[in-house]
Amino acid sequence: MIIWGSGGDVVNLGQVETRRCDTCERDRPVNLILRYRYAHLYYLFGWVTEKKYLFLCDICSRGWKLDGKKIEANLQRVPIPFLRRFGAFAGLAVAACVILFAVIAGK
């Protein structure tokens, strides 16, 4: 049986600045938000399928979409867990090790 699925998460990276909110019509604090979606195989081997960085008003939660490459250049690290970002590569590495072991044991 193959266990396949997907999910998503929202990470609040904190309050960054104050901007004028068009919805509230006032200067409001805005938070930097990361919304991402991921797919997985057996809950362990995952990969990110969509990533969005947003500035959202602290009061009404409306805001602006940002360029992810510029934001990630300023971050110390991407706040997505390791297995959700690189789990598929870990799965491929495990499969390669199993195949290599089978080849060596067969000789």
Give per-residue pLDDT as tens, 28-54.
999 999 999 999 988 888 899 999 999
Which residue is it, tokens 């999910």?
A: 7
Percent over 70 (pLDDT), the chain: 100
Q: Backbone dihedral region of 72: left (phi > 0), alpha (psi from -120 to 50 degrees) or beta? A: alpha
3-state helix, strand, coil in the chain (%, to 5): 30, 50, 20
The pTM is what? 0.79
d(CA 8, CA 38): 6
* pLDDT tier for residue 102 given thresholds of 50, 70 and 90: very high
Do 85 and 72 contact (CB within 8 A), yes or no? no
Please state the rounded mean pLDDT for residues 67-88: 88
Does 25 score more than 80 pLDDT?
A: yes
Q: What is the mean pLDDT of the chain?
A: 90
Do 69 and 52 contact (CB within 8 A), yes or no? no
d(CA 70, CA 96): 35
pLDDT at 36: 96
* pLDDT tier for residue 65 given thresholds of 50, 70 and 90: very high
Please state the rounded mean pLDDT for residues 16-20: 89
